[in-house]
Structure 1
């Protein structure tokens, strides 16, 4: 295992930060910033693989499947962050996008050592979710060799579920158990082996891309507006009003009035205004057109 780890790009020393402990504050910041600039380019290099992942996720969710992120440590935490934002941003059911993290929910706040080294635990935790071949499992591991998500992907594959791997090393071990492998090679970290830095940034970017693009394709975005936002607090209620105003070019007062009729649902509010129809007609059109606002409006034109 020591030989294997020493060969990983994510464990190599970065020649640009060899004197990190002798740099002044600005030099440290500039070094980190310069390395961070490389992350987006690395993600660009795997866009074809991300496209495949998105298409498969869309297909699964449209057919009643679910998306599971699974990882340990920082990788698991990134999954929790992305999955937890889907319900408020896109009004998805809480079980549509989920994260399974080594050590359970407590591991989000406190390190739980050892669990990540158990393949069988990854399988066990995934099995508890009663997954089927309609679901998708995405294993996240910067090193690409963490046993926990590998165990989960092996189990998912045995059931016929589609599997995706997300790592930061070329020819990662976890890729062997994925139908779609995404290997974002960002190079050695500024702080040797600290994959909470560039590797984590890359993984967050990829997860954001997958979830956001999927939701666009599921009709939860109109133009570039969050029209399925769950207006559950003051900030989101105000955003719902601004979104309705932006989409329809009406006043704040008019947006407030129509949103009262829709219980703060933005989609029917837009259709009501643009197509000059009742709330019930707007809802029917949205349902008929699979959630797409633009098509729902065209339905009446």
Structure 2
């Protein structure tokens, strides 16, 4: 029996996402695809998937309108689904994570459930509906699956931890040597964007997504980062949000040391025709991020990781 898709007359994509889909000749295709694959409830396989996770990526927006990408960690089962349109998260933010200040009833929130070891990932957007002693609840607005492209496979182990134990924390408004080294070595990062205007209707929300490439795929010029964007699923959730709200939050994970680097700032997209795109083989466009502020927390993540198995799709891309 087929699982019902999007049941509303309005598109599951807001006008920023649709504008980019139209620009690239994919509007009709994505309307059909989105109505089939995007839902306002969690299918059973998604409910089972979230229940087996030990970590989940989170996107939120602070009171000043700045997006932040975060990570929550717990034993499998820390994410549960009381019903097919709600999540209960039995976890508290790690020490220093900006998410701590943004968990309030009524706050928009996005999740990326991802298993790096299997390259499986699903997305949820919703609203915080309750704060509980062990965590919080979320009312689901949209949920959908993503393809495994550009994900570096990593096995992991979860160590015992207390999120309240203080860790070395550094606030910043410019990138120092430690931040530059972490970014230069990265083959993975996560990006949060948002569009919360009422005009978006049921497609409004905060989104958090994965980006992957060969180590060094993020170029650093002062406090500006430039990232190639490769062929994907044509949803353009991230770039659609940037089209109407040019801000983004990034999370870089140091998989060897457990350090977490949270950045927020101004975002822009460099489209086809710009000669800068030709500097990176396989890129269809570029994403630029201009830092406003950030937080680095050392030895924060209670997960240890294996060496990565690079995505086979990276063979089609080249270095800067």
Q: Is TM > 0.5 for Structure 1 vs Structure 2? A: no
User: Over alpha carbons, which structure has the higher Rg?
Assistant: 1
What TM-score do the two structures reach when normalised by structure 2? Answer: 0.22
Task: Choose between structure 1 and 2: higher strand proportion.
Answer: 2
TM-score, normalised via structure 1 length: 0.23
Structure with the largest fraction of helix: 1
